[in-house]
Amino acid sequence: MHSIFHPLQQRGFSLLEVLIAALIFAIGFLGLAGLQARMLAAANSSYERSAAVMSAYTILDAMRATVMSADPGNRSTLAAAYVSSDWRCSSPSGSTLPLSDLKTWIDSMRGTSSNPPLVHPSACGRVTAIDATTFTYRVDICWDDSAGGDNTDGGNCLGGQPATILSVTSRL
């Protein structure tokens, strides 16, 4: 039996084979592009979390410097000036050292017209007293995370929209 196609007559690929190979490569590259987009979002989220940790320690260090350098009788009053049960999403005004520290903290997290945000433009923060007698405080930072926050509590800084909340507790 003779075959119609001889091995010496077949050269190269058919157009159909080339199109199938191109389709397989295109699907693979689309998958890689999607993976890269998710990696970029995760990297940005990781940066924001790291910046939030640094920001939390910044306000705790400012509190520590202000409160512990004061007279022992004034320490509790000074520490209480940093505390708020509500989210601080805008800079407080005032001339006291605690209010000035809070203003600098909020402005650095959210950014100003001359400085980019350290955490995110939607970042808000609050300081709560865990145990005022031992000077133990918690700093919460909340923001709209680009990778999708998982906190949808109505009491978060975004009013129940998905947000990321980072908490750091420390003793002054």
pLDDT in tens, 102-117: 999 999 999 987 889 9
Cβ-based neighbours of 120, under 8 Å, separated by 6 or more: 48, 109, 110, 143, 144, 145, 146
Whether the per-residue pLDDT at 3 is higher than 60: the answer is: no
Distance (Å, whole) CA 144 – CA 164: 6
Q: Where are the domains of the chain?
A: 50-171
Going from the C-alpha of 130 to that of each of 98, 127, 138, 169, the distances in angstroms are 18, 9, 6, 8
In the predicted model, is pLDDT for residue 170 greater than 60?
yes
Cα–Cα dist 156/165, whole Å: 8
DSSP E strand stretches across the chain: 124-131, 136-143, 164-171
User: Does the pLDDT value for residue 2 go beyond 80?
Assistant: no
| Mean pLDDT within 27-49 | 89
> What would the two tokens of residue 116 be?
């980019």
Give the three-state DSSP class for 140: strand
Query: Confidence class of residue 141 from pLDDT cuts 50, 70 and 90?
Result: very high
Report whether pLDDT(138) > 90.
yes
Cα distances from 53 to residues 15, 30, 75, 80, 93, in angstroms, run 57, 35, 25, 22, 24
Q: What angle do CA 135, 139, 142 make, to 5 degrees?
A: 170
Instruction: Using the predicted structure, report yes or no on whether residue 43 has a pLDDT greater than 90.
Output: no
Q: How far apart are CA 168 and CA 137, in angstroms?
A: 8
pTM summary value: 0.80
